[in-house]
Structure 1
């Protein structure tokens, strides 16, 4: 009996070593260790600023002066602020129209560039130009194009005899909204087009050949082959597009500063104006924090869409 009792710990030792060995060599844990540096960077540069912003949103902190806890007072103030609600409307309008237009144009360009074209590589490089040009430089170029005095559009139309005076593109609220949306579409289309083009390159040509032999039309090929296979890429690229558009700041601030009469103020630009320029960090943080539910909703829609596998099985 004593020998058996002494033998039990010895038998357990290899099991512990084996478990630790599996722990070290498991693919899942190996991936975990590789992800740890990136996770730490995200915690440092994303999670901490987000938590700090949420904390500032419930205080009355101002630049140069520490604040005290005020609860939801900043949010109550914003709920009665007409400019804030206008910025919410502008942000949703800006994001909705720009995202739909960028997807439609980007998908069309991707399908076009996927065909056999002369100088295809050169055309693809040209398509990328709006995306690689710095945002502020693009914004300044559009600001010059839409300038009330020196606009090339107004100059051309006047010399053609179609106008007798310049168009005040950025001085009219509706036209200013249309101008910034157009600028965002121009800048964002290449990202979607090139990403979808990369997805199209992975679709086997044999699928189209088999469908064509069966008598499928080009629309049927697109509807039953291209679109289902591109759905995961579309979900991811549109999620990024919506997030980038919703949080856009540089383009709007460089072109209009939120004017005229707050007609182009987005939540991001209003947050900067109230928090940094006006010095009210608490209110600015509250506006920025109010953007989080919209962003989480966009990510959730994409995630649940990817989890639904029905489109994969037809």
Structure 2
């Protein structure tokens, strides 16, 4: 009798596995638990402000006043849909934003790819050159904008001064006072700042390409262009997709550079959607209208992200799958 009692006392208690226990130790859920803290931070600092902004775009809120729900009035006043062109400045800002983003992104990619290939070669003082290339990206945006504001100043521009002393022009160039010149000036400044990011990122991708692939292609009679076309570029495709997505997003939502250089002028020629949203919401006090302009940027950003996403899915060179 005592032996049976002692056996019952020492026997381990049988614990039934609950559904929570299975989820907690399941490998398929392990990634979810690791990503949960980051997801909560994103929801708190990104999703909530985005949702709040979308809600404000449907109200007549102003600074100091909550506002009431007014439906699509803000969008109709902006000229949405396109056949109700109620606000020409808004559509001008859309045009400026698209031109600014497309031109700057294409040029930044071309120059950045060239620099990456150049820096991947065996050059003297290669580490020093790479550090120098990073300087435009490291310098604060506002400081760069002020520097370019002086460079393109209508009276004290070093460019105009140099051209006048060389006898190429007889008067100063009005860089920031002429609409077309101002657009070109801010695009140039954005390219100067953005090239290092693309160049260094692509350089990191180039260094992951095995030299044996180039050796094999050269033995097969491939030229430098064929090496780039059939070896370098396909292997860089995923990195190009990611880096260009970030480049497009950063360029499309650029605010500091434009605001510090031109504040959207002259005659709204350099107003981007981001700067116009700030002007209407903060300076003019129309939070609902400014939020509507900012919300109108979302479809463009989603389009850029989707292009990159589908580009990453079509990696037959890596997956060995047919895309047809």
TM range (shorter): over 0.9
- Give the 3 Å change call, closer, same or farther, for CA 18–94 of structure 1 in structure 2: same
Task: Output one character per residue of 1:33-80: Cα deviation in whole Å (capped at 9) or x when no partner.
Answer: 111111111001000000000000000001111201000000000012
Task: Output one character per residue of 1:171-194: Cα deviation in whole Å (capped at 9) or x when no partner.
Answer: 000000000000000000000000
SS at match of 2:78: helix
Q: Which residue is 1:157 aligned to?
A: 163
Give the RMSD, CA atoms, in angstroms: 1.4
SS at match of 1:17: coil
Q: Which residue is 1:119 aligned to?
A: 125
Q: Which residue is 1:180 aligned to?
A: 186
SS at match of 2:17: helix
Q: Distance in 1 between matches of 2:230 and 2:21?
A: 48
Q: Which residue is 1:281 aligned to?
A: 287
Q: Distance in 2 between matches of 1:215 and 1:20?
A: 61
Q: Which residue is 2:259 aligned to?
A: 253
Q: Distance in 2 between matches of 1:203 and 1:161?
A: 49
Task: Output one character per residue of 1:226-246: Cα deviation in whole Å (capped at 9) or x when no partner.
Answer: 011000000000000000000
Q: Distance in 2 between matches of 1:200 and 1:18?
A: 50
Matched, 1:204 2:210: yes
Q: Which residue is 1:132 aligned to?
A: 138
Normalization by structure 1: what TM-score?
A: 0.93
Q: Distance in 2 between matches of 1:295 and 1:241?
A: 11
> Which runs of at least 4 in structure 1 moved beyond 6 Å after TM superposition?
none
Structure 1: 5+ residue stretches without partners: 1-12
Q: Which residue is 2:17 aligned to?
A: 17
Matched, 1:171 2:156: no
Displacement, 1:119?
Answer: 0.3
**Between structures 1 and 2, the one with greater helix share:** 1
Matched, 1:146 2:152: yes
Q: Which residue is 1:54 aligned to?
A: 54
Displacement, 1:18?
Answer: 8.8
Displacement, 1:151?
Answer: 0.5
Q: Which residue is 1:9 aligned to?
A: none
Task: Output one character per residue of 1:249-298: Cα deviation in whole Å (capped at 9) or x when no partner.
Answer: 00000000000000000000000001100000000000000000000111
Q: Distance in 1 between matches of 2:27 and 2:130?
A: 39
Q: Which residue is 1:31 aligned to?
A: 31
Displacement, 1:28?
Answer: 3.1
Matched, 1:302 2:318: no
Displacement, 1:24?
Answer: 2.8
Summarize the alignment of residues 262-281 of structure 1 with structure 2, pairs less than 5 Å apart: 262-281=268-287
Q: Distance in 1 between matches of 2:187 and 2:19?
A: 58
* Count of aligned pairs between the two proteins: 301
Displacement, 1:30?
Answer: 2.0
Q: Which residue is 1:6 aligned to?
A: none
Stretch deviating more after TM superposition (219-228 or 23-32): 23-32
Structure 2: 5+ residue stretches without partners: 1-13, 80-85
Task: Output one character per residue of 1:144-199: Cα deviation in whole Å (capped at 9) or x when no partner.
Answer: 00000110111111122222211110000000000000000000000000000000
Matched, 1:232 2:255: no
